[in-house]
Amino acid sequence: MENYGIIKSIKGHIVEVEFYTGLKPKVNDVLYLESDKNCRLQAYKSSDSDSFYCVALSPIRGYYRGAKVLNTGEALSIPVGEGVLGRVMDIFGDPKDGKGSMPSNRRSIFQDTPDYSSISSQQQVLETGIKVIDFFAPIVKGGKVGLFGGSGVGKTILLTEILHNIVNLDPLKNVSVFAGVGERSREGQELYDELDRTKVLNSVALIFGTMGDSPSVRFLTGIAGVTIAEEFRDNLGKNVLFFVDNMYRFAQAGNELSMLMNTIPSEDGYQATLVSEMANMHERLVSRGENSITTVEAIYVPADDILDQGVQAIYDYLDSGIVLSRDVYREGRLPAVDILSSGSSALSPETVDFIHYAASLEAKTLLKKAESLDRIVSLVGESELSAEDKLYYQRARKLRNFMTQNFFVAEKQTGRPGVYVSLKDTVKGVQAILRGDFDEVSEDHFLFIGSVDEALPLKNVVTKVFTGSFQKHRDEANLVTKKPKK
């Protein structure tokens, strides 16, 4: 009872508490009202020698000036271990799925980053079965992937498809942790139902801090998710797939808390501590020994401005960046990935097969050339292109369409069954398009197919309707582009 204080002031979600006794709280200690233990606070920083700024972890309506506050002397902790798989919780470890109490084994959400000597680095590609990702921006096992895009371009559904495909590869060794940071509660419910329908829920632990929660809860939800992933990696010997939706909301929540504390903002109006907050979270998401944490982050791009400082602060920690484009989405090509803006550090001869590497370079060169021809086509039409440019342009359009795919998690919306395409089949299909094996096939036949073999039955039928004039132009273009033998 000596370790208590009195609420001095309340400003938004920041509660200033003054302690008259000799015992003072430490940073991150959890406090609660003497009259209501469900009204919890977290010590954030000191305002003077006896007063502390605390963030409210519950609705602010429960606090009032003069209320007596008790200090637990402990930081916030959450349930961890095998028992959290298939469960949904909040940052206090309270169940949100109606399945009874959570496991008693708990772990503080504030942990030190691992020593450099204990971190293992590996360059092993993790296949997702999604063509455009595996081919143009492969994911590194134990690495970090960012899915960048504005609102409504398909970040969440792409992240959910990655979760679905990778967990099913090895359910015994792989587990997933999903942290819903600042997104809609409706999306959380849809995710839960989809994971249950596709039979992967029992391999996933979910923790949510929704859009309607206070900034302190949204901020701590990401850190709590990291803690669950660390327990699986360090003590249970699992490979963890850590998903965050949305990492920008994590930065935004920190900014809201900073504004309430009258902290002087830094670049682009964000908090001065933005970089350190990102570092503290990402540096814990590393591989140790034989076990890895592979991180996939959905990152909202405000006003489609990818140069926003809140977005750029995340870039330094990523191994792969996948940019979703609103223009591609409007064209109906899903997933709406901007191929030329996306990339991965794993796309090198040291990590991927050389045939894959060479094909990806040739494909990007083709797409870049086609992009330069787009303006000409929009002005004078495709018919005005030279035979060589026309051939390049048509192959590029077929390649873009080939990168579309039906998702398992979108079967209810699209009415089309999802498909998993191996990297081997993807490379084979791209090579066939680049060689010109499908020059006689219309580009529409490449939309939402799996392997390129699905277009083969159409090839012989379509070839018959082409005129000899087109065949002549194609042969002329091939002669121009044909490389002399050594």
Which residues form the catalytic set?
A: 155, 183-184
Gyration radius (Cα) of the chain, Å: 26
Tokens standing for residue 68: 């007596």
Number of neighbouring beta carbons within 10 Å of residue 191: 26
Q: How big, in percent rounded to 5, are the helix, strand and coil portions of the chain? A: 40, 20, 35
Rounded-to-integer distance, Cα 54 and Cα 271, Å = 17
At residue 135, the 3 state secondary structure works out as helix
* Cβ–Cβ under 8 Å, residues 340 and 349: no
49's CB contacts (< 8 A; 6+ apart) are none
Report the distance separating Cα 39 and Cα 59, nearest Å: 8
CA 19 to chain centre: 42
368: part of which helix (H) or strand (E)?
Answer: helix 354-380
66: left (phi over 0), alpha (psi -120 to 50) or beta: left
Is the distance from CB of 313 to CB of 255 less than 8 angstroms?
no
